[in-house]
């Protein structure tokens, strides 16, 4: 890793760990058939609940350990009467209730419905990290019923992936203004690989796999849509070294986590050299 000191890497890792405290998944304890997941940063906490039980359900929600005590709690619903174009309702997602933050919220959720609670203290989020310009985040869910998840935070250039009971989790980002070299730092499971599809004049002309082996590679649903042209050991993303002729800093970066057991998780942060 020429040009990057050990101190810089440790400082970046510390920043990623702070991000983990500021924005990450949170524990949800459930008693009943409703499913849920939650996340939180210093200024906003979110809880989404969905009901596939076959019957309407009553909800009594307790919001513990919020990182702030004052702000607004907004309640959103997606069901046949709210934000569901297929059911004839207005597709726009708008709060159906807003009030001050409290410890509890009670309501109901119909079968096949969703309730989303968002607590916000009104403070601005942190400034984005200047890595590159995000053109589009690319999602791939080969099995919509799986418990795998994948998210890319464009403000911090951090990908979060979890396999759940699935074999792998995948997410990509199409970007311009990429630097000549990126440093990747992984927290959690290390069975992570990163594909870089190089774009020249809007067309993908080369695909390189970092941190994986060619025999374990796969064709992605975007970019060149073929097996990688080259496989590089480790996650030192020297983009310029492996770039094709005519490359001018545009490409697709894809994060892949292959499960090494149940509930495998990883958080990958990228930063400019």
220 forms beta bridges with none
Is the pLDDT assigned to residue 261 strictly greater than 70? no
Q: What is the CATH number of the domain that holds 137?
A: 2.60.120
* pLDDT > 50? residue 1: no
Q: Is pLDDT above 60 for 6?
A: no
Query: Considering 54, 89, 120, which residue would you say is the last residue of a domain?
Result: 120
CA 162 centroid distance within chain: 10
Q: Do 111 and 137 have their domain in common?
A: no
Burial code of 26-46, b = ≥16 C-beta within 10 A, e = fewer?
eeeeeeeebebebebbebbbb
Residue 6, domain member (yes or no): no
Single out the residue in 95, 120, 145 at which a domain terminates: 120
Could you read off the pLDDT of 189-224 as tens digits, one per residue?
778 999 999 999 999 999 999 998 877 788 899 999
Residue scoring higher pLDDT (129 or 63): 63
Dump the DSSP string for 209-241: EESS-GGG----SSTT-S--SEEESSSEE-HHH
Q: Does residue 28 register a pLDDT over 60? A: yes
- Tell me the pLDDT tens digit for each residue of 98-150: 999 888 999 999 999 999 999 999 886 656 667 899 999 999 877 777 778 88
- Pick from 92, 120, 148: which residue ends a domain? 120
Tally of domains within the chain? 2
What CATH number is attached to the domain comprising 111? 2.60.40.1180
| Reported confidence tier of residue 152, pLDDT bands at 50, 70, 90 | very high
- Name the more confident of 18 and 89: 89
Same domain for 252 and 228: yes
Percentage of the chain exceeding pLDDT 90: 49
CA dihedral 113, 62, 148, 86 (to 10 degrees): 10
Domain match, 105 and 169 both: no
Instruction: Report if residue 259 sits inside a domain.
Output: yes
C-alpha dist (Å) from residue 270 to 3, 145, 267:
16, 29, 10
Residues 187 and 233 in one domain: yes
Are 232 and 202 in the same domain? yes
Contacts of 74 (CB under 8 A, 6+ apart): 95, 97, 98, 117, 118, 119, 120
Contacts of 18 (CB under 8 A, 6+ apart): none
Q: What is residue 2's predicted lDDT score, i.e. its pLDDT?
A: 42
Whether 26 is in a domain gets the answer no
| Residues spanned by the domain of 240 | 127-272
50 and 174 in a single domain? The answer is no
Q: Are residues 199 and 261 in the same domain?
A: yes
What pLDDT score was predicted for residue 127?
Answer: 60
Are 230 and 151 part of one and the same domain? Answer: yes
The predicted pLDDT at position 129 comes to 66
CA–CA separation, 266 and 268 (whole Å): 6
Tokens of 119: 């607590």
Q: Residue 67: CB partners within 8 Å, gap ≥ 6?
A: 40, 41, 42, 43, 45
Report yes or no on 69 lying in a domain: yes
Residues 149 and 111 in one domain: no
Report d(CA 178, CA 273) in Å as an integer: 11
Which helix (H) or strand (E) segment holds residue 8: the answer is helix 6-22
């Amino acid at each position: 890793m020429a040009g990057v000191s050990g101190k810089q890497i440790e400082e970046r890792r510390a920043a990623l760990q702070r991000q983990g405290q500021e924005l990450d998944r949170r524990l949800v304890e459930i008693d009943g058939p409703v499913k849920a997941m939650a996340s939180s940063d210093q200024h906003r906490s979110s809880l989404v609940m969905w009901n596939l039980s076959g019957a309407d359900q009553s909800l009594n929600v307790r919001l513990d350990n919020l990182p702030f005590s004052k702000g607004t709690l907004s309640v959103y619903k997606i069901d046949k009467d709210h934000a569901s174009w297929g059911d004839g309702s207005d597709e726009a997602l708008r709060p159906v209730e807003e009030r001050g933050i409290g410890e509890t919220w009670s309501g109901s959720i119909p079968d096949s419905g969703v309730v989303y609670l968002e607590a916000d203290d009104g403070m601005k989020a942190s400034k984005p990290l200047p890595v590159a310009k995000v053109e589009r985040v690319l999602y791939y869910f080969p099995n919509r019923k799986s418990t795998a998840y994948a998210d890319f935070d464009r403000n911090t250039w951090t990908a979060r992936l979890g396999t759940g009971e699935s074999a792998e989790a995948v997410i990509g980002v199409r970007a311009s203004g990429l630097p000549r070299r990126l440093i990747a730092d992984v927290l959690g499971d290390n069975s992570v690989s990163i594909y870089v599809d190089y774009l020249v004049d809007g067309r993908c002309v080369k695909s390189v796999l970092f941190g994986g082996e060619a025999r374990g590679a796969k064709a992605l649903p975007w970019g060149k849509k073929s097996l990688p042209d080259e496989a590089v050991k480790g996650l030192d993303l020297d983009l310029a070294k492996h770039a094709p002729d005519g490359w001018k800093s545009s490409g697709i970066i894809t994060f892949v986590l292959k499960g090494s057991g149940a509930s495998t998780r990883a958080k990958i942060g990228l930063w400019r050299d």
